[in-house]
Structure 1
Amino acid sequence: MFVRKEWRDMTFRKETFKVCFHTWKCEDTGEEFEDEHFAQLNYNQVINQYREKYNIPYPDEIKSIREKYDLSAIKMSHVLGFGDNTYRQYEAGEVPTQANARLIQMAADPRKFLDMIDLSHALEGSALEKARRNAERLIDKADKEEAVVISYLFDGKRRSRFTGFGKPNFEKFVEMIIYFCTNQRPWKTKLNKLLFYADFTFFKEYGVSISGSEYYAIDMGPVPDNFNSIFEHLTKTDLLKVYNKIFSDGGVGERYLPAREFNDKLFEEPALKILQSINDKFKDFSTQEMIDLSHEEIGWQQSFDDSHRPIDYLYAFELKN
């Protein structure tokens, strides 16, 4: 048996999308089949494209919107005018209609959520007061400078093929940085490549990125968007320590060390395994070797001439290293 990959059309809700379709193929009989992993990977690709096209929120986003107001799924359904079990089904993976998706996205804004509470009359008594307090607390938090900075640097991006269909998650991205800095203490240029390979390798396996970071092709290989500003922010907030070295050619190298331990609680087991595999695979590679390897990647080659456009995660299926 060997893995066969080809671009095929798949249909969802009467719309057709192209996916990199994975199957096992028998060399002797020519028979092809999907195992459970490939079936999920193929399905994820078409669903992700549908969500991207219509800006449909993902299950984790839908759940987090409800949880930040500390409401049950059935109460959230009532506030939005859904059926009793609808919100729970969306959290479990069912794709919302476009109309319901807009309502859920509006509810993510605590100011609009306060209006929804008043309009729906779905909450009363202590439940109403608790929801109000949570919404008002979120409004205050969103106005703080830290939230504004993080949104500008990372979280303000729309979920798309350029984020690997992953929700831009600054906390996870920071932990990925801390992970590699703890295990390798790499120079900044190599660190950027490790982050790229971790996110793109995870997408290759599961159809979604770990961090939701966008990556751009520069002369020294793929780099996360706003990487210089992000590293500067992390040093100012005492999450990283930076050490500079002046080389004989006049260049300056930056090496980052973690200021605290890696928090593995933010990641599920598959993501931790990918981080470990990338660390083990490239641990003994020099910075220049990492640059050379990244230049072999089709995604970098195809994106280098358009520095204003992020690298499409679909190139992950063509990773060379």
Structure 2
Amino acid sequence: MAGSEKLRELVLDLAIQCESDPRFGAVKLNKLLFAIDVSAYLAWQRPITEAEYIALELGPVPRQLSALRAEMVQRGEAAVRLHSLFGVTNPQERLTALREPNLQVFTGPEMALIDAVIDSTAPYNGHELTEWSHPFIGWKVARKGDAIPYESALISPEPPTPSDIQRTQELIQEYGW
């Protein structure tokens, strides 16, 4: 199945699974999608949706999500509702599914990963998940609007340990780099 179709079905699945989460808005949706695809990449060397993520001020966002969301609204698959949260003056934008997602497009392991990411991020709001995404090296080095390579998930934001440096030096000597 094409990546954009998997992205569509995942967006609908997230909207349904997170419907009762008062913290689920546009920002949390973006971060959930990113966390799912990066987790899949780390597990299987391939993302679930094949979405291209770009660097924006609040963190990684699927490049095609805005157009996809507009198309989903136009086709009657989803609606965007404004939700006032805790008396905040800027209402939260919530995507609401108007049809059931086709979960048959996902494998069993993909569904298990999706559910695990949803469960692990349940207590967090969009702002907190944004803070989680900011140390991600791919986002940090990309310019606003640039694509973030999935491979950057393999790079730790932590400085190398002495044993990392020693192993690197051994590899340089062994392979003559």
Please classify the TM superposition score into its range, dividing by the shorter chain length: 0.7 to 0.9
Bigger Cα Rg: 1
List gaps (5 residues or longer) in structure 2.
Answer: 158-177
Structure 1 pair 204–309 and aligned structure 2 pair: CA distance change class (3 A): same
Question: Contact 2:15 / 2:95 at 8 angstroms: preserved in 1?
Answer: yes
Q: CA contact under 8 A between 1:168 and 1:213: conserved in structure 2?
A: no
Higher relative contact order (CA 8 A, sep 6+): 2
Among 118, 121, 131, the residue aligned to 1:279: 118
SS of the aligned residue for 2:82 comes to strand
**Percent identity for Structure 1 against Structure 2:** 24
The residue correspondences of 1:291-310 to structure 2 (distance < 5 A) are: 291-303=130-142, 306-310=143-147
Shift of 1:319: 6.7
Distance of 1:295 and 1:311 partners within structure 2: 12
Contact kept? 1:299, 1:316, Cα under 8 Å: yes
Letter in 2 for 1:201: S
- The answer to whether structure 1 residue 170 and structure 2 residue 4 are counterparts is yes
- Give the TM-score normalised by structure 2: 0.78
The residue type equivalent to 1:310 in the other structure is A
Superposed, which structure 2 residues align to 1:1-321 within 5 Å?
169-185=3-19, 186-245=24-83, 250-303=89-142, 306-318=143-155
Computed over aligned residues only, the root mean square deviation of the Cα atoms, in angstroms, reads 2.0
Spell out, residue by residue over 1:181-234, the C-alpha distance to the aligned partner (whole angstroms, 9 max, x if none).
Answer: 111132011101100111111011101111110001111111000322221111
Distance across 1 between alignment mates of 2:103 and 2:42? 22
CA distance in 2, matches of 1:318, 1:182: 33
Go from structure 1 to structure 2 and tell me whether the alpha carbon gap of 1:235 and 1:211 turns closer, same or farther (over 3 Å shift): same
Counterpart contact for 1:214–1:225, Cα < 8 Å:
yes
Q: Which runs of 4+ in 1 moved over 4 A?
A: 246-250
Q: 1:210, 1:319 → 2: CA distance? A: 22
